[in-house]
Amino acid sequence: MNPAEDGPKRVVRGSLVKVLVHHRTDRGMRLEEHAARCVRRGEVHELVTTDQWDPRSGARIDRVGFLGFAELLCGGVIDRGDLVRIGDTRVGTVLGFDACHLPNHYNILIHAAHPVSGRDLDVRPESVVTFVQGRAGDHGTVPAPPGT
């Protein structure tokens, strides 16, 4: 978010359609140059957590946890720094986007204290996902997964 340019925006809401349960330390995702993306109602995008915070275009993101796929229930804008929740759990803040699977879907990269998967957070299909406008400098946190 750029407070010099950005006014208020709607909450982008979605619903998990598939839970993912794995982690990688060598994923090689590349951060897109854009800090914001417009999204449409009905699109399905992948939610991926990382403890890496490097917002530079092309930054390599290797340490990831896969949360799942979410169908968006309304259109809107998702920005770097937006707070991401699944149900009542604060997952983290949007780092950016990896477009390796376009035009099928974006990987929405979410900065968290630790890469966590859908299993780590015990999420279920139909869990509510929200992207809420953040403040400049916001970084989300998530408890460490069990057993770490």
Residue range 20-41: mean pLDDT, rounded: 95
What's the CA gap between 44 and 69, in Å, rounded? 6
Which of 30, 35, 36 has its CA nearest to residue 52? 30
- What percent of the chain clears pLDDT 90, i.e. is strictly above it? 82
Structure tokens at 20: 């993912």
> Above 80 in pLDDT, residue 7?
yes
The overall pTM is greater than 0.85: yes
Instruction: Please report, for residues 56, 94, 145, 148, the alpha-carbon distance to residue 37 in angstroms, rounded to integers and kept in the order given.
Output: 16, 11, 29, 34
| 41 neighbors 75 (Cβ within 8 angstroms) | yes
Residue range 119-144: mean pLDDT, rounded: 78
As a whole number of Å, the end-to-end CA separation of the chain is: 32
